[in-house]
């Protein structure tokens, strides 16, 4: 299964945010164990660094970016994705860019803690818990 990991899920792990850490870390681990292929939007990494740096400092924020680069596939963002996102009805450009990238990459789902951000998405939207319920356990893989 190929999924887009919304930046909020990655931030939950990097910043150890409760109460979401458990499910988000399990999704991350499933990607690392190759039971799932997780994708991040390239612009999400800059957002992740910006947010993380303010909370945990530059060194740990850079480490978070490095771990993301080692774990996830990165979807580039160019003019086509930005124009496609700009033409979408949703009011949040960042979410629209994620959706445009998921569509263009033909991903199976978007994994986010905020499914309402993608309410009109033609790509299935799952919470981390919903995704985990669809995956075989690590011991079964």
Instruction: Name all domains of the chain by residue range, CATH numbers in brackets.
Output: 2-133 (3.40.50.1010)
| Interval 87-124: pLDDT, tens | 998 789 999 999 999 999 999 999 999 999 998 899 99
Q: In what order do the strands lie in the sheet with 37-41?
A: 73-75, 37-41, 2-5, 109-111, 125-126
Give the whole-number percent of the chain exceeding pLDDT 90: 91
Answer yes or no: are the C-beta atoms of 135 and 1 closer than 8 Å.
yes
| Interval 17-35: pLDDT, tens | 999 999 999 999 999 999 9
Task: Identify the bridge partners of residue 3 per DSSP, sorted by sequence position.
Answer: 38, 109
The pTM (predicted TM-score) of the whole model is 0.92
Ranges 50-59, 113-122, 130-139: which has the least confidence: 130-139
End-to-end CA distance of the chain: give it in Å, rounded: 13
């Amino acid at each position: 299964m190929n999924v887009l990991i919304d930046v909020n899920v990655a931030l939950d792990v990097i910043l150890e945010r409760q109460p979401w850490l458990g499910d988000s870390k399990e999704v991350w681990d499933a990607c690392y164990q190759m039971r799932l292929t997780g994708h991040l939007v390239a612009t999400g990494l800059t957002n992740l660094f910006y947010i993380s740096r303010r909370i945990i400092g530059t060194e740990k924020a850079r480490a978070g970016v490095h771990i993301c680069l080692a774990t996830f596939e990165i979807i580039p963002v160019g003019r086509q994705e930005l124009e496609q996102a700009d033409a979408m009805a949703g009011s949040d450009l960042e979410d629209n860019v994620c959706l445009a990238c998921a569509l263009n990459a033909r991903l199976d789902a978007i994994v986010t803690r905020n499914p309402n951000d993608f309410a009109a998405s033609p790509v299935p939207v799952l919470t981390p818990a919903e995704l985990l319920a669809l995956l075989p356990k690590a011991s079964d893989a």
